Amino acid sequence: MERTNVFLPTELRRRLADEARRRGRPQAELVREALERYLAEAVPERPRVVGVVDVPGMDARRAKAWVRERGRRRVARA
C-alpha cells in the first residue's frame, strides 16, 4: 500500500472524522472504500476515432465492436 496526501475542505474533513468515529474505523479506510466505489462506477472515456479505415470485411457493426474492445484495453492498461 502507498501513502498519499489529500487536501479536504474543513467541513468534509470534519464529516469524515465524525463518520470514522461513529463506525469505529480509521479515516483512511473510509476514504479507500469511497474511492473504490467512485472509481468502480466511473465511466471510462471512449476512444476518439478520427479518419477513415479501409479494412476488408469491416462494417459498422464490426467497427463498433473493434472500438469498444480497444477502449477496454486502454482502460485496463491505465
What's the rounded Cα separation, in Å, for the pair 26 and 20? 6
What's the rounded Cα separation, in Å, for the pair 19 and 47? 39
- For 57, counting Cβ atoms within 10 Å of its Cβ (0-12 exposed, 13-18 middle, 19+ buried), the class is exposed
Pull the grid cell for residue 19: 463518520
pLDDT in tens, 29-61: 999 999 999 999 887 776 666 556 677 777 778
pLDDT above 90: residue 7: yes
For residues 13-22, give the mean pLDDT.
98
